[in-house]
Amino acid sequence: MCLPKLYDEHRHFFEAKGLVNGIEKHTQKIENYVPNDVEVNGLTFYTGPNSGGKTSLSKAIAQAQVLAQIGAYIPATSANIGLADKIFYQVGRNDTMDDKEGGFGTQLQHSSKIFYGSTPKSLVIIDDLIDGTSYEDKTRMTRNALSGYSHIGNSLIYVSHHHELAKE
């Protein structure tokens, strides 16, 4: 555990050594939990196999950001963190009977609110942006969204199985 150093900069950033997802480590009683060194400044792409820790790490970052901003210790050995004006965490979600759109439309509405609500000081974490369409459409729309976020200049962590897009 450490008390992170906080900075009020024009753009958000997140750096931590030995970061763990404290909730998972203790609730799942993982004895050999592997800590991560993390640097997020602009677009960060997490890709890899199922159960490889992508979502767990992104949740650890969000948890640490909130803890840091309330003045609490975080589960890391050291950290330098920029204050975030907003924290967004989007995961794929299914539509409900109340939605006026299907699952894809609902996902795009939610994505739009995050995109237009974020600033350079925001931390945005998106766990696979677009489902429910063709691979080609998903690639094109994701590429466009990531380009838009890069123009905003916030910290964006994008979690996906889309290895080809990560290589780009």
pLDDT digits (tens, 9 = 90+) for 19-78: 999 888 778 777 777 899 999 999 999 988 887 889 999 999 999 999 999 999 999 999
Half-sphere exposure of residue 132: CA atoms within 13 angstroms, side-chain side: 14
- Stated as kind and residue range, the H or E segment containing 127 is strand 123-127
Question: Which pLDDT value is given to residue 166?
Answer: 77
Question: Which pLDDT value is given to residue 95?
Answer: 55
CA distance to 4, 11, 133, 148, 151, per residue, from 160 (Å):
28, 24, 15, 17, 21
Question: Which pLDDT value is given to residue 52?
Answer: 80
Question: Which pLDDT value is given to residue 84?
Answer: 98
- pLDDT reading at 103 higher than 70: no
Q: How many CB atoms lie within 10 A of CB 35?
A: 16
Question: Which pLDDT value is given to residue 38?
Answer: 97
Tokens 């890709």 correspond to 47
pLDDT digit string (tens) for 118-154?
999 999 999 876 666 778 888 888 888 889 999 999 9
